[in-house]
Copies of this chain bind each other. A is one copy, B any other.
Amino acid sequence: MKAIVVREPGGVDKLRYEDVADPVPGPGEVRVRLEYAGLNRRDLYARMGQYPRVRFPAIPGSDGAGVVDAVGAGVEALEAGDAVIIYPALNWGEDERAPSRAFEILGIPTDGTYAEQIVVPAANVFPKPGYLTGPEAAALPLVGLTAYRCLFARGKLEAGEQVLIPGIGGGLATMLLLMATAAGAHVAVTSSQDRKMTRAREMGAYASVNYRQADYVAELRRAVPDGFDLIVDTLGGPGFEDLVAVARPGGRLVLVGATAGPVPSLVLPRIFLKHLDLLGTSMGSPLDFARMLDFCLEHQIHPIVDRVFPLAEASAAQEYLWAGGQFGKVVLQVSGPT
């Protein structure tokens, strides 16, 4: 089969479009012929070798959608021809509160979805939601899972609540916006780009503030004087204390990313005198995934797909994602219709 193989850590030039042996499903496993694969920022960091457990050579990619084309011994619930999407991790374990030590995300060191075929445990494949296009289905798993766990399993979002999503534009943030508005929340967003703020308002955000403005905290306060019930932070960094400042007393901040780096000097009384919950989360369990699919079906959530690249152009796709101009997900077309 054709696949994108990374033989050593490095830049996008390390993403090589090569012929490799077809993987063969063992007992309890299935082989999926991929139609589309979704990109995540994790793919870039893994390709650079920035995670503790990376090993090479390996095929990147956590997100994929396609069709079952071979079934290992003992797999009865699936057969060749089933359209599926893939739960993008392995070995979550038995505890819904946190993954086991053996937990890993699909794609480097395990072979991932930037390939014509992938072998995964049968428990990892779920029926492809019929209302989604192929690219949408490949865009859903990782961000859908993560966003669902942020908002519901961890954030306990209720209809009518005020939600803040800082840094709108990426795949996760746009999925958070879609799901939170579908759940009946009032969603405000921040961005450094007016264009993304406009898109977010078109998608249902009722307020948007450019965080490059000096007075953006005051503007958020004017928009929501009592403070936000729920804030989902993918950024961290020096802006974190602004989020603490605009949270409602007794409110929740879900921590799910730190693209802006560590929080310099966290003043704890600002958190404990407000009785805030800071709730860490990352990815989600298979149960979260199943519930996420139900939620998306019920609310007909379509992930925002920004752009589709051919599999052979994975380097260009990763460069595009790295540049940060996208609104929504970047997807690779493997064998699905153009």
Q: Which residues of A contact B (CB under 8 A)?
A: 95, 97-99, 154, 236, 240, 248-250, 255-258, 262-269, 271-282
| Nearest opposing residue in chain B for A95, CB measure | B250
Who on chain B is nearest to A97 by CB?
B250
Residues of B within 8 Å of A154, CB to CB, are 275
Tell which of B262, B274, B278 touches A98, judged by Cβ atoms closer than 8 Å: B274
| A250-B98, A262-B266 known; A257 vs B278 contact (CB < 8 Å) | no
- Selected from B95, B97, B249, B271, the residue in CB contact (under 8 A) with A278 is B271
Q: Are B280 and A256 in contact (CB under 8 A)?
A: no
Chain B residues whose CB sits within 8 angstroms of the CB of A271 once the complex forms: 255, 278, 280
Q: Which residues of B contact A282 (CB under 8 A)?
A: 272-273, 275
- A-B contact sample (9 more), CB < 8 A, given A98-B249, A258-B268: A98-B250, A98-B275, A255-B271, A258-B267, A262-B265, A266-B266, A273-B282, A274-B280, A278-B279
List B contacts of A97 (CB < 8 A).
249-250, 275
Q: Assess the B280–A280 pair: CB atoms within 8 A.
A: no
How far is B337's CA from A84's CA once the two chains are assembled, in angstroms? 78
10 CB < 8 A contacts A-B: A95-B249, A97-B275, A98-B250, A258-B267, A262-B267, A272-B281, A272-B282, A275-B281, A277-B277, A278-B280
Q: Beyond A277-B278, A279-B277, is A268–B250 a contact (Cβ under 8 Å)? A: no
- With A249-B97, A249-B99 known as contacts, the answer to whether A268 contacts B272 (CB < 8 A) is no
Contact of A276 among B236, B249, B265, B280 (CB under 8 A): B280
Measured CB to CB, the closest approach of chain B to A105, in angstroms, equals 11
Decide yes or no: A273 and B267 within 8 Å by CB, A97-B250, A249-B99, A250-B95 being known contacts: no
Question: CA–CA, A263 to B263, complex, Å?
Answer: 9
Contacts of A265 in B (CB 8 A): 262-265
Q: Which residue of B lies closest to A229 (CB)?
A: B97
A256 touches B272 (CB 8 A): yes
A154 to B258, CA, bound (A): 26
Contacting residues, chain B, for A276 (C-beta < 8 A)? 280
Q: What is the minimal beta-carbon distance from A270 to any residue of chain B, in angstroms?
A: 9
Whether A263 contacts B256 by the Cβ 8 Å rule is no
Tell me which residues across on chain B come within 8 A of A267, comparing CB atoms: 258, 262
Bound CA span A266–B238, Å: 10
Q: Determine whether the beta carbon of A280 is less than 8 Å from that of B277.
A: yes
Q: A92 to chain B: closest CB distance in Å?
A: 11
B-side contacts of A99, CB under 8 Å: 249, 275
In the complex, which of the residues B255, B257, B264, B272 contacts A280, with contact meaning CB atoms closer than 8 Å?
Answer: B272
A240 to B265, alpha carbons, bound, how many Å? 12
Given A250-B97, A272-B280, A263 contacting B266 (CB threshold 8 A): yes
